[in-house]
Amino acid sequence: MFGQTLYFCRMITQRQIFFENLAQTSDLPMALEIVKANGVYLYDASGRIYFDLISGISVSNIGHRHPKVIEAVKKQLDDYMHLMVYGEYIQSPQVNFARLLTEHLPAKLSNVYFVNSGSEAVEGALKLAKRFTGKTEIIGFKNAYHGSTHGALSVGGNEELKNSFRPLLPGIKILEYNSSELSQITGHTACVIVEPIQGEAGIILPEKNFLRELRKRCDETGTLLIFDEIQTAFGRTGKLFAFEHDGVIPDILLLGKALGGGMPLGAFISSKELMQTLTEKPVLGHITTFGGHPVCCTSGLASLQVLLDENLVEQVERKEELFRKNLQHPFIKNIRGKGLFLALEFESEELNRKIVSTCIEKGVVVDWFLFAPNCMRIAPPLTITETQVETACKLILKSINQLT
């Protein structure tokens, strides 16, 4: 029976198995069958080449399979893979990565807790805030996306996404992003969780002083400020971390996506004083088996080193300008965003969907945003060259023109 199944498997295509045996997240997956990736390029099973203009959703910031990352990962595989649950053994990939990360962060963000994903970093941070402050109220923002687990979903800002899964965490208040109603943050608030630049509503920048005011109000009320930089960190917006644009420092910083250099990794980072509270009452207040996996930390460390050595962050602004200059068309109503984190706004969801599909047919992988289906996502690897930016833009304009 088993053998028969295997035999049958050989007769059906990967595409058929994908739709039959893998859980789907929507009716409309991109369903590209990618067999190889290199730099800014993806290669499909039929030999077609694509520009990857979304970086696996802000993951491949230094491109796919950078040789230095591959070399470091191969070496680590020769030494060891999983050894023990997080926090027990001294493992050099974790130690060295925590060291490099904290060297590039403000002094109070000196203590790194490695986890597996962005959502898990959010969960850890919410627990840490409750544990440290002894308070339970949490404030999030409309249109925020922080992940799909129960806690992360609870502090997200899209009611439609949340409604089918209630009851969620109690004590959550959702405010308008860029809101002036910060008096809602009170002595009862454990923490405020916010993206310093909002992603999934089609990239919304903070208004001047919004983050500063938030910091001030949190300080006044003894509330911890959590910045979710899971999508905005590692040069994506033209600074190593997006909080550098406004000079506002959070109490807890959340990282994921590009953190692992193409491997699954998340982190919440805070001060030693705060983090220490997770070790007592109860002991082992947050634990994870695979968090900070040595191969993932090796990949993340090598990737950050490449980002720094190749001065990629400094080149982001120039590449952003090139995208803006080359993407002018009457159908593009607006280009929002910062650095290589851009949203092209179109008249309607329908038009955007058509343009996205045509771009993919022409060899440029773009996408839309969770809460802004009329906006096209452009977030290429930061390693994209200026010539590649120009070629990709020409293909996007060609796709738009084909529909007019």
Chain residue at closest Cβ approach to ligand PMP: 118
For ligand PMP, the closer CB: 142 or 389? 142
In angstroms, what is the minimal distance from the CB of 155 to ligand PMP?
10
In angstroms, what is the minimal distance from the CB of 375 to ligand PMP?
15
Structure-token pair, residue 27 = 């009716």
In angstroms, what is the minimal distance from the CB of 241 to ligand PMP?
13
In angstroms, what is the minimal distance from the CB of 156 to ligand PMP?
9
* Site map (CB under 6 A) of ligand PMP, residues 247-276, x = contact: ---------x--------------------
Stretch 116-145 residues interacting with ligand PMP (CB under 6 A): 117-119, 122, 145
In angstroms, what is the minimal distance from the CB of 283 to ligand PMP?
26
Count, residues near ligand PMP per rule CB under 6 A: 14
In angstroms, what is the minimal distance from the CB of 385 to ligand PMP?
26
For ligand PMP, the closer CB: 228 or 367? 228
Stretch 222-251 residues interacting with ligand PMP (CB under 6 A): 228, 230-231
* Site map (CB under 6 A) of ligand PMP, residues 51-80, x = contact: ------x-----------------------
For ligand PMP, the closer CB: 169 or 322? 169
In angstroms, what is the minimal distance from the CB of 90 to ligand PMP?
26
**Per CB under 6 A, 151 contacts ligand PMP:** no
For ligand PMP, the closer CB: 201 or 274? 201
**Per CB under 6 A, 199 contacts ligand PMP:** yes
Please give the residue ranges that form the binding site for ligand PMP (CB under 6 A): 57, 117-119, 122, 145-147, 195, 199, 228, 230-231, 256
